[in-house]
Amino acid sequence: MRFSKAFIPTQKEIPADATIPSHQLMLRAGLMRQLTAGVYVYLPLGYKAMLKAMEVVREEMNAIGGQEFHLPALNPESLWIQTGRRDVPNFILSIKERDLVLAPTHEEVIAWIASMHIQSYKDLPQIWYQIQTKFRNEPRPRSGVLRGRQFIMKDSYSLDASREGLDKSYDLHAEAYRNTFTRCGIRFFVVGASSGAMGGTGSQEFMVEAPHGEDTVALCTQCDYAANLEIASSALPKVTRNEGSSNVEEVHTPNVRTIDQLAEFLKVPRERLAKSVVYRHNGSPLLILMVGNDQLNESKLIAALGGGEVSPMSADDLKGLTGADGGSIGPVNLKGFKIIADKRLEGANGLISGANRNDYHLSNIDLQRDVTLDGYYDLRTIEPGEACPKCGAALKVSNAIELGHIFKLGTKYSEALNVTFLDEGGAGKPVIMGSYGIGIERIVACAIEQGHDANGIVWDKALAPYSVHVIAVNMNSKDVVLAANQVYRSLTEAGIEALFDDRGNVSPGFKFKDADLLGMPFQVIVGEKGLKNGQLEIKRRKTGERTMVAKDDVVSTVQSLLRE
Ligand code: ATP
Ligand code: MG
């Protein structure tokens, strides 16, 4: 591509809301523009990088036996009513025609096709995938293309006859994902994840560590334990059970509101304080008991409750129900609430909690004796420095970007949409499904997050829109023009994608700056000085390292550099 004819609108000024490197650089280097919040136009250079990412994904999906589909973005609403997902928040963007849905994912359509054509165990397993546009009404689209309201996803779905089959399809995807991200030159790690609104049993996320990432993960500093904070646990000890329980006593605690104030006031360790957190679950009052200052983790809460709508109870609502304020609520003699507790409190006694009367607490609470509990669950968010559940070393907490997600779905969708097969004995069974996603924009943006410096993007050769950026330093020199055209032609003929800066009205300094900003892996600099010795200069963008190469050796040198 000749720069003089190319549409590469680089820009200096970037909007203030572009705060992360990939967002800023995709704007500056002319890769994309924002049409409206969370909706982006991919310009030719940006789309080229996306196409490369898609091709790597496609090759790796084909390598595990995946078969490519193209499913429609517009779906009949009826399908989504059948699986109960018609009203999942974020999922449906806008429905002008009232009976259509802009698909946020495609389990429903896949299940619909399978329900018509999968008949026997002989038709299984299948891996079906597509690379297609998705729509989600993300509440706060930011971070550039990392969180769009319209974005491109590789989504695949496995159909199996048995749990073992699902395990195999899942492992194949894990392998394909490892190969894909490795080939794209991205440093990533894998964490255990929550299955969220999708239903299902096992799930893992492929993550990139990034200070601006919207996900938070716990990583062991010693072993390979890694989990999304939504499910991460630590080896924090349980609250010990004292021998014998004294009678519950009411204690006057005037103006004591927080756990810290209470610990200070009563001179007791925080572990003895059972904090009440109040919610509504599907409308019904719910009290959650946590140890001291432990933070309730909403994802764990939703998983423990088996899904449904949860929301913190408002102060007025609570006061109306109990006559007391938040700081004085406790589990003893509390009417009308379902009560659950964090696992750390399992069977504990000698606890202090609210008396359901302002300015009073109860001491000597024995959860076995005094409270009707609906169950103990792991409900707390781990803190950095706590012990790894696997090896006991310290955990750290990092921000990360989710590149891909693999789920064992099970039979939720096959049951809802009647996807059954006949097993070897002729019995009808629901097909066991898996679902697997990769964000194409996220591959490109993560590659830029990891590949940039003060001067611009540093592309890995796998995703670089062009492998080589040829720079004709001075277009007034006949020798330069001739040699630059020659090398551009030879590179192109050798199948090497080159961008040729042949602009006549642009200073050498400007061209060098643009080449660094656009970030192709290698620059071939054609200048008068080198040409006097029959040489051109090759600059490696990543390191800035420069070598002079005889004019005729440029193509073979670039070829071997690209093979590295
Ligand atoms: P997140 O937690 O970031 O919202 P998700 O769990 O909703 O992601 P999935 O439904 O599993 O994501 O989608 C599969 C993949 O699609 C994700 O791993 C991610 O790479 C990509 N993806 C999801 N939502 C977006 C989005 N709004 N913009 C760009 N890519 C996205
Ligand atoms: Mg999401």
Q: How do residues 401-443 score in pLDDT, each as one tens digit?
A: 999 999 999 999 999 999 999 999 999 999 999 999 999 999 9
Mean pLDDT, rounded, for 228-257? 92
Q: What residue's CA is closest to ligand 1, atom 11? A: 405
Distance 104 CA to ligand 2 centre (A): 9
pLDDT at position 93: 55
Q: For ligand 1, say whether the CB of 136 is within 6 Å of any of its atoms.
A: yes
Q: What percent of the chain has pLDDT over 90?
A: 88
CA distance 418 to 428: 11
Q: For ligand 1, say whether the CB of 442 is within 6 Å of any of its atoms.
A: yes
Q: For ligand 1, say whether the CB of 441 is within 6 Å of any of its atoms.
A: yes
pLDDT band at 148 (very low <50, low <70, confident <90, very high): very high
* Closest ligand 1 atom to 138 CA: 27
Q: For ligand 1, say whether the CB of 107 is within 6 Å of any of its atoms.
A: no
CB atoms within 10 A of CB 490: 17
pTM: 0.90
- Name the residue with higher pLDDT: 192 or 56: 56
CA distance 20 to 367: 48
Q: Is the pLDDT of residue 197 over 60?
A: no
pLDDT band at 77 (very low <50, low <70, confident <90, very high): confident
Q: For ligand 1, say whether the CB of 527 is within 6 Å of any of its atoms.
A: no
Mutate to test the pocket of ligand 1, among 153, 203, 206, 407 (most ligand atoms within 8 A of CB): 153
Mean pLDDT, rounded, for 153-175? 97
pLDDT in tens, 122-144: 999 999 999 999 999 888 888 99
Mutate to test the pocket of ligand 1, among 186, 205, 402 (most ligand atoms within 8 A of CB): 402
Mutate to test the pocket of ligand 1, among 405, 440, 441, 443 (most ligand atoms within 8 A of CB): 405
Q: For ligand 1, say whether the CB of 327 is within 6 Å of any of its atoms.
A: no
pLDDT band at 283 (very low <50, low <70, confident <90, very high): very high
Residue 230 region, left (φ>0) first, then alpha (ψ -120 to 50), else beta?
Answer: alpha
Q: Is the pLDDT of residue 98 over 80?
A: no
Distance 234 CA to ligand 1 centre (A): 27
Mean pLDDT, rounded, for 453-479? 97
**Helix (H), strand (E), coil (C) string for 501-521:** ECCCCCCHHHHHHHHHHHCCC
Q: For ligand 1, say whether the CB of 443 is within 6 Å of any of its atoms.
A: no
pLDDT at position 480: 97
* Closest ligand 1 atom to 149 CA: 27
Distance 227 CA to ligand 1 centre (A): 17
Going by the DSSP 8-state scheme, the letter that residue 237 receives in this structure is P
Q: Do domains 21-187+410-448 and 249-377 have the same CATH topology?
A: no
Q: For ligand 1, say whether the CB of 151 is within 6 Å of any of its atoms.
A: yes
Distance 103 CA to ligand 2 centre (A): 13
* Closest ligand 1 atom to 141 CA: 27
pLDDT at position 346: 96
Q: For ligand 1, say whether the CB of 38 is within 6 Å of any of its atoms.
A: no
CB atoms within 10 A of CB 41: 11
pLDDT band at 24 (very low <50, low <70, confident <90, very high): very high
Distance 304 CA to ligand 2 centre (A): 20
pLDDT band at 327 (very low <50, low <70, confident <90, very high): confident
Distance 439 CA to ligand 1 centre (A): 6
CA distance 220 to 388: 6
Q: Cis ω on the peptide bond leading into residue 312 (within 30° of 0)?
A: no
Q: Which residues of 462-479 are buried (b: 16+ CB within 10 A; e: fewer)?
A: bbbbbbbbbbbbbbebee
pLDDT at position 202: 85
- Mean per-residue pLDDT of the chain: 94
Q: Is the pLDDT of residue 12 over 70?
A: yes
pLDDT at position 92: 63
Q: For the chain, give every domain's residue range.
A: 21-187+410-448, 249-377, 466-563
* Closest ligand 1 atom to 437 CA: 14
pLDDT at position 140: 80
pLDDT at position 96: 56
Q: What residue's CA is closest to ligand 1, atom 4? A: 147
Mean pLDDT, rounded, for 147-172? 97
Mean pLDDT, rounded, for 71-98? 78
Distance 559 CA to ligand 2 centre (A): 41
Mean pLDDT, rounded, for 374-379? 96
Distance 404 CA to ligand 2 centre (A): 11
pLDDT at position 201: 60
pLDDT band at 94 (very low <50, low <70, confident <90, very high): low
CATH of 466-563, one of 3.40.50.800, 3.90.190.20, 3.90.1150.200, 3.30.1360.120: 3.40.50.800
Q: For ligand 1, say whether the CB of 549 is within 6 Å of any of its atoms.
A: no
Q: Is the pLDDT of residue 518 over 60?
A: yes
Distance 365 CA to ligand 1 centre (A): 44
Q: Is 307 helix (H, G, I), strand (E, B) or coil?
A: coil
For 249-377, which CATH superfamily applies?
A: YbaK/aminoacyl-tRNA synthetase-associated domain (3.90.960.10)
Mean pLDDT, rounded, for 488-516? 97
| Residue 91, both tokens | 């999922």
Alpha-carbon torsion 314, 315, 316, 322, what sign? positive
Measure the CA angle with vertex 294, ends 299 and 296; round to 5°.
20
Q: Up-side HSE of residue 528: CA atoms within 13 Å toward CB? A: 6
Mean pLDDT, rounded, for 327-350? 95
Give the ligand with the smallest distance to the CA of 191. 1
Q: For ligand 1, say whether the CB of 141 is within 6 Å of any of its atoms.
A: no
CA distance 108 to 475: 58
Q: For ligand 1, say whether the CB of 213 is within 6 Å of any of its atoms.
A: no
Q: Is the pLDDT of residue 199 over 70?
A: no
- CATH class of the domain defined by 21-187+410-448: alpha beta
Q: What residue's CA is closest to ligand 1, atom 16? A: 439
